A = this chain, B = another copy of it.
Amino acid sequence: MHILILGAAGMVGRKLTERLARDGALGGRAIAKATLHDIVEPQAPANVPFAIRTIASDFAAPGEAEKLVAERPDVIFHLAAIVSGEAEADFDKGYRINLDGTRHLFDAVRLIGDGYRPRLVFTSSIAVFGAPFPEAIHDEFFTTPLTSYGTQKAIGELLLSDYSRRGFFDGVGIRLPTICVRPGKPNKAASGFFSNIIREPLNGEEAVLPVSEDVRHWHASPRSAVGFLIHAATLDTAKLGPRRNLTMPGLSVTVAEQIEALRRVAGDKVVARIRREPDPAIIRIVEGWPRNFDASRAESLGFKAEKTFDEIIRVHIEDELGGRFVN
């Protein structure tokens, strides 16, 4: 089978590619080829047991989506997006990539016709929801995004459902939790601290906590995110019916609970590297974010996430730190 990944140079795209390379198969079928696409050229992992083609281009540019799907990949992972902050800062760019790009991709698949009907996995976001929220956001809660990014993702979900209902492709939209622990360097994303306060202390570095410890948020590990993608690509979509978009399972914890898990896994010396430095701007942004979900539907369909934050930290230590951390 042939797999196309859009957004393959991003963190989740890279980890998905590595997992596919390790497995050599998807849903019991051997992978013959993967096409990795992004705006910058994606890195192919070493020792891949199938053919890899890497492409750098703007998938929203005219004619580009058509080229990407011309070989009729069996499975398309659409992870490409302008992130939340940039989509808010640059209105035109966000709509051009996140809405028009997604629609062009969907239309390119549709216009092949001729019985071509790939599985298409679309990464949506919990940003499709906007405060005020119920205590836990359930599967039938309405989408009232408070960002242009969330609006574009919610529109992508609607298109995905309609194109699937019409039989143009076999779509599954998955709303990812905040990915934690996010590997790499601290970045300026408002959500960065959720990962920073775990990753940096484990590296022997100080990390800044800009919010109160009673802030509650919704997490899953990068390993779970890849698991969601694989499961979305292989599950029996007859079980979904026309409701194709799913809130992924995750773990709702407070910052205090994150810190206590870090203490259990790595000890007091590591935890002591977290420095409290309240930031009113971040405090205000985070107040509008979802805190908890009831993701019963995805769970009943077999999607799985971590059950404790200890587990999320251990996944990070295993997958990113070779099992060691700085005590």
Interface residues of A (CB under 8 A from B): 91, 130, 140-146, 148, 151, 154-155, 158-159, 161-162, 165-166, 242-243
A242-B130, A242-B146, A243-B144 as given contacts; A91 in contact with B151, CB under 8 Å: no
The smallest C-beta distance from A217 to any residue of chain B, in angstroms, reads: 21
Which of A130, A151, A243 neighbours the largest number of chain B CB atoms within 10 Å of its CB? A151
> Hey, which chain B residues are within 8 Å of A140, CB to CB?
141-142
Contact call A151/B142, Cβ cutoff below 8 A? no
> Hey, which chain B residues are within 8 Å of A145, CB to CB?
158, 161-162
Contact call A158/B143, Cβ cutoff below 8 A? yes
Task: State which of B91, B154, B162, B242 has its C-beta within 8 Å of the C-beta of A158.
Answer: B154
Chain copies in the assembled complex:
2
10 closest Cβ pairs, A-B complex:
A151-B162, A142-B142, A140-B142, A151-B158, A155-B155, A144-B243, A154-B158, A148-B162, A155-B158, A146-B242
Roughly how many angstroms separate A192 CA and B200 CA in the complex, as a whole number? 65
Contact call B91/A144, Cβ cutoff below 8 A? no
A151-B158, A155-B155, A159-B151 as given contacts; A165 in contact with B142, CB under 8 Å: no
Roughly how many angstroms separate A141 CA and B243 CA in the complex, as a whole number? 14
Contact call B144/A143, Cβ cutoff below 8 A? no
Roughly how many angstroms separate A158 CA and B151 CA in the complex, as a whole number? 6
The smallest C-beta distance from A164 to any residue of chain B, in angstroms, reads: 11
Known: A142-B142, A155-B155. 17 other contacts (CB 8 A): A130-B242, A130-B243, A140-B142, A142-B143, A143-B143, A143-B158, A144-B242, A145-B158, A146-B165, A148-B162, A148-B166, A151-B159, A151-B161, A154-B158, A155-B158, A155-B159, A158-B158
* Residue of B with least CB distance to A154: B158
Which of A141, A154, A158 neighbours the largest number of chain B CB atoms within 10 Å of its CB? A158
Task: State which of B91, B141, B148, B155 has its C-beta within 8 Å of the C-beta of A142.
Answer: B141
